[in-house]
Structure 1
């Protein structure tokens, strides 16, 4: 990693060997360290510029008993991350689980870890506890889709409601009914790639849209659809050139 940008392709790839890591560090001695969330997940607590305060959100959530003592680090941005083992449990990635609190759990997600630096600020371990299995109550709370009490003021779309607007709406509203989820995901991914959104960003947005679907697709189906649409877009661009 340089900052938070990966130096290698890591999605669905085997772990680097010791020799590969040493060779990378010889070429990039100031590279940061990142771990894929394959057999663990992270509760990522942060304070955002938009005002979302994860520390305040957890306090208001008021269930400290759900968070067992485990390995934790302070992030370069002043946030905090709690590491928990998956241990066979299905833990859904949930960006925005609480305001300012993300659950990073997808096998192709990653977290930067200490003693890495970002913009001159360092990640630091807060303890040396082992990574423990989370409480069943925490897993249930993470996997349960949150329902908001807020209802926006009624608003009618104009006649010029665009395809781009529909892509944004799909992030929030999900992929729709069970029978059309795969096609909706393919259309969503293809539409973003066609608009030159970066592949990694498209993948993360696809995960969010799937997570906001009433009956989300399995991760392997999301990955398969994403890879298919990415290859299709690459062929389209090659044909244009």
Structure 2
């Protein structure tokens, strides 16, 4: 399926399409002014006739969808294993049967569910377990590509038409994780806790650029607004010894949020 075919299929399913850039420097960015997504066929045709290989993203909230983003990072984080345990405990042996994509690295997974618009009227948590994040804004979808790989359906012939309704127990969980699950994190430092500890301490000389990139990528991943991230970044830089100069700091910020 080409990006244009996928985009047209999405709008046929009332899934709001966002225009991205082709693989390369701006591959994670979106075209300015398209973040809300569209169901306009003429506009979608124009976008993908102009750049046939541009990446395609969708606005989850406006499409009444959520995405469970399962990450696997260093230090033993395994979102796939964590979500499998959550599903097994709560689903009453019901098989997970919805549209799922593999992310470009091959280790990440995006699981899609339908929800009602009322779900977004309450606060939604950023994660329900270490490595199990809840995406409600926008996300790239197949056949988008990055320099490290491509998004692809977990099942070869699967499509977004097969997104299932989100179970009620999972809706309850994304509004407020169960106490026993929160308790399981006590004594175990999550990746998020590590990042906020880094924020409080500031970067150290020799790691300033790397630490600044790490903290910005985390903030971007959990959906903090770019302008707020810059305010936080200035506070972080003031704790860094010695701090980065303003021009270098701005360059890193623009790079992470694909503004250059």
TM-score over 0.5 (shorter chain): yes
Please give the alpha-carbon distance, in whole angstroms, between the structure 2 residues aligned to 1:42 and 1:14: 16
Change (3 A) 1:200 1:21: farther
Change (3 A) 1:150 1:75: same
The residue aligned with 1:229 is none
Contact 1:45–1:102 (8 Å) recurs in 2: yes
Contact 2:134–2:174 (8 Å) recurs in 1: yes
Is 2:50 the partner of 1:27?
yes
The residue aligned with 2:29 is 5
Contact 2:105–2:148 (8 Å) recurs in 1: no
CA-based RMSD of the aligned residues comes to 3.7
SS of structure 2 residue aligned to 1:83: strand
Residues 14-163 of structure 1 aligned to structure 2 (within 5 Å): 15=38, 17-38=40-61, 39-61=64-86, 62-63=88-89, 65=91, 68-78=96-106, 79-90=108-119, 92-105=123-136, 109-119=137-147, 121-125=149-153, 126=155, 127-128=158-159, 130-145=162-177, 146-147=182-183, 148-150=185-187
- Runs of 5+ unmatched residues, structure 1: 153-163, 172-184, 203-241
Change (3 A) 1:17 1:199: farther
Contact 1:76–1:118 (8 Å) recurs in 2: yes
Please give the alpha-carbon distance, in whole angstroms, between the structure 1 residues aligned to 2:41 and 2:133: 31
Change (3 A) 1:138 1:25: same
TM-score w.r.t. length of structure 1: 0.56
What's the CA shift for 1:88? 3.5
Contact 1:53–1:100 (8 Å) recurs in 2: yes
Change (3 A) 1:188 1:114: closer
SS of structure 1 residue aligned to 2:164: coil
How many residue pairs are counted as aligned between the two chains?
171
What's the CA shift for 1:4? 1.7
- Runs of 5+ unmatched residues, structure 2: 1-19, 22-26, 190-198, 203-214, 216-224, 235-248
Change (3 A) 1:166 1:16: farther
TM-score w.r.t. length of structure 2: 0.53
What's the CA shift for 1:49? 4.0
